Structure 1
């Protein structure tokens, strides 16, 4: 695991709820809606939905540079008949994600990748509230389709709010994964957080090369889910 300094630098990534993000939220939402209603989505054998924040949305990059798009290219290269939907929304929290599930889950989803929680931690939202929201999202997905495979992406935060909060936050993800018997990506930003050349000029969001590493981190777990 990287040093505490690297994790602290990584934290800046999630303070991106400013005016630029708010302006982009509507376009991101429109892109998701367009993907959900696309004819090729209706005809494909399986849908993989990435449900997250600005990391998933690919903030500051072209849509085809975000890691969900890279995953789609990987699937296509392997002749695997899956359609990837990027349902990332910049600045999203677990509460916000919970409230928009009903319009995102318009079709049966084969794999649901849940990438939320870090914004909660950096805002000091009570740990039990974050945990409960994530659990509600998992429960909602399973009520919609019990056969959907769920992947939870782990995240870490800096110690600004104290060691107890920091360590408690980190534990949420593996504990939920074990409790619900779902897949876990231990740390989505592994090998990217705090590496200057893998982050954009603002020092906040991953570059296109950084997103490629995120895609690798995701693929290590996703390939297990689709091959099960």
Structure 2
């Protein structure tokens, strides 16, 4: 389902640095109230601990790595981010798209972000083995491979700590409920905070 949302931003007055989130429905608050997703929660954490940073969320439900790559150049020009968080790839796998293409797209996004002067955080995902064990294993490896080759930071698995608990997901079994979002935020925060401290 393609449900574009408006960019969400939270910043202290005079904030000079942007954390740009380019993601899909897992970052776009699909099926939950606005302001309860992990990205707004991350924005609140930044406001408390790193008020010189702000969050800009450009995530779109249903987006793929190809879509993110197409959108990224304009976002880099517009927002001039200090950090780019790439949370894409799940929809590539759900559609059975070429993982070589997924990897190439993620790598191109990382390189463009780095070339624009941003630090990069790759957010990893996993899919159930019913998609095919080899495909699922290869998909899981895409994210650390790109992070390693492009010298980017990595969240190994966005849904770490909730993936096995069905009560933390909406009826579709794919999207976490609001009560699970703080855990997602913490998973991202552990990898993001060192980037905020980098000169």
TM-score of the aligned structures, taking structure 1 as reference length: 0.80
Instruction: Note the residue ranges of structure 1 that are not aligned, 5 or more in a row.
Output: 1-16
Q: Structure 1 residues 51, 42: CA separation in 2 closer, same or farther (over 3 Å shift)?
A: farther
CA distance in 2, matches of 1:161, 1:213: 26
Partner of 2:84: 112
Q: How does 1:72-87 map to 2 (within 5 A)?
A: 72-87=43-58
Partner of 1:207: 177
Structure (1 or 2) with the greater helix fraction: 1
| 2:100 alignment partner, one of 121, 124, 128 | 128
Structure 1 position 202, deviation (Å): 4.0
CA distance in 2, matches of 1:182, 1:155: 16
Q: Report the structure number with the largest CA radius of gyration.
A: 1
Instruction: Note the residue ranges of structure 2 that are not aligned, 5 or more in a row.
Output: none
- Please tell me whether the aligned partners of residues 57 and 66 of structure 1 are also in contact (alpha carbons under 8 angstroms): yes
The reply on whether 1:158 has 2:128 as its aligned counterpart is: yes
Q: How does 1:1-228 map to 2 (within 5 A)?
A: 17=1, 22=2, 24-25=3-4, 28=5, 31-32=6-7, 35=9, 43-105=14-76, 106-143=78-115, 145-146=116-117, 148-228=118-198
Structure (1 or 2) with the greater strand fraction: 2
Worse-matched range after superposition: 128-137 or 102-111: 102-111
- Please tell me whether the aligned partners of residues 56 and 67 of structure 1 are also in contact (alpha carbons under 8 angstroms): yes
Q: Structure 1 residues 75, 96: CA separation in 2 closer, same or farther (over 3 Å shift)?
A: same
- Please tell me whether the aligned partners of residues 113 and 119 of structure 2 are also in contact (alpha carbons under 8 angstroms): no
- Please tell me whether the aligned partners of residues 113 and 151 of structure 1 are also in contact (alpha carbons under 8 angstroms): yes
CA distance in 2, matches of 1:196, 1:45: 40
- RMSD value, Cα: 2.0
CA distance in 2, matches of 1:81, 1:209: 28
Structure 1 position 98, deviation (Å): 0.9
CA distance in 2, matches of 1:176, 1:182: 8
- Please tell me whether the aligned partners of residues 112 and 149 of structure 1 are also in contact (alpha carbons under 8 angstroms): yes
